[in-house]
Structure 1
Amino acid sequence: MPWIGESRALDLANTVIVGANRGEDLDFFADPSLTARWRQRVTDGRLARMPLDQLVELRSVVQEALDAADRSEPWSPQLRSRINSLAANAPLVLEMDESGTLRQVGREGPVEAEVARETLQLTAAPDSFTVRRCPAPSCGMFFVPRRRNQGWCTVRCGSRARSTRRHHRGRHAEG
């Protein structure tokens, strides 16, 4: 689980590995041992202690928002309303530091509200790259690219995708 720790929203959304099990998705929350491993490694203990049904529900909202961002599609009114209402419980306030610089500070709220706020920040921040879904075989993880042309979540996924492409090109050339 090398992806854990970048963002609670990504920690939650990336609990499904697309096509990992003979083409079937691997859902960490459908397997008690994987759920337990995720709960041990996730950095926010409040998120780790959430009941499974609430985790699954929150994950579906976060994944829907991140999927829309990856496809550059607008959110449905229902999704926008759901995330906005969740995020309303994790306020941002303005503070001035000793040098007179004004900054926004996130105040702690319920963990689902904070995850919703992070989802809003990941998907709507104009000064960052857009959230993407890794297209590598057996991955599908969401990630925030560190450079504009980054196509995969990790170097390992990039290598696997290129290797798979070469393998498929070779098979088609032989046929």
Structure 2
Amino acid sequence: MENELTWAWLEGYPSLDFANTVIRRGWTEYELVSSVDDLASWLGAAALPAPRPAEVTAEDLEAFLRLRDPALRLLRAAAGQGSRLEADVQTLNETLLGCPEVMVLGDEPGSVVSCAVGSPDAFTLLLARLAGAVRDVLAGPRSDLAFCDAPGCGQLFFQRRTNQAWCGPACGNRARVARHHTTSG
């Protein structure tokens, strides 16, 4: 029986949840968002930085993947897995510039809210905010972004300890079992 691929929410960070829509089974990577239905399912389950669009189209799926792939490469590069490509930076920046936002005063004293300039459609705003979440990870002060290299994972995560090598206990167990099989076999 084939393993069913499911959404993995490791961090609660939209940027990492966005990038982690590519996973591994064994050492093979799988695309989790390959149809409009997959995208709608992910949008329905994800903690999003903007309201979920009422429905999504094939064009939305293409736009999602056009942003996700460079975001994934940039985040992996920041975690020491690959190179930072200027074309990926340009794609992220173009998405941000295509839907600029300004901070305005909120309803409560001392609060601010982000408002899009103009009237972008819901999916364009969502992509811009996902790009902003990726930008914030890449430009922020955190240095604990890591890549889980356990067999069957390949997820990005934030380390909770300086020597943390895997995203969670299950991946640590899989990696130790795999290491044991290669050294004792």
Q: By the TM > 0.5 criterion, same fold?
A: yes
Query: For each residue in 1:34-78, what CA deviation from the matched residue of structure 2 results, as whole angstroms up to 9, or x when unmatched?
Result: 556434322332498462212211211211211211127773332
Percent sequence identity over aligned pairs: 25
Distance 1:5 1:37, change over 3 A: farther
**TM-score normalized by the length of structure 1:** 0.75
Letter in 2 for 1:10: L
| 1:1-175 pair list within 5 angstroms | 1-3=7-9, 6-18=12-24, 20=25, 23-30=27-34, 35=39, 37-44=41-48, 45-46=52-53, 49=56, 51-71=60-80, 75-88=84-97, 89-91=99-101, 93=103, 98=109, 106-107=114-115, 110-126=125-141, 128-171=142-185
Letter in 2 for 1:60: D
**TM-score normalized by the length of structure 2:** 0.72
Distance 1:65 1:159, change over 3 A: same
Structure 2 runs not aligned, ≥5 long: 1-6
Between stretches 66-75 and 152-161, larger displacement belongs to 66-75
Is the 1:5–1:42 contact (alpha carbons within 8 Å) kept by the matching residues of 2? no
Distance 1:75 1:46, change over 3 A: farther
CA RMSD of aligned residues (A): 3.2
Distance 1:74 1:5, change over 3 A: closer
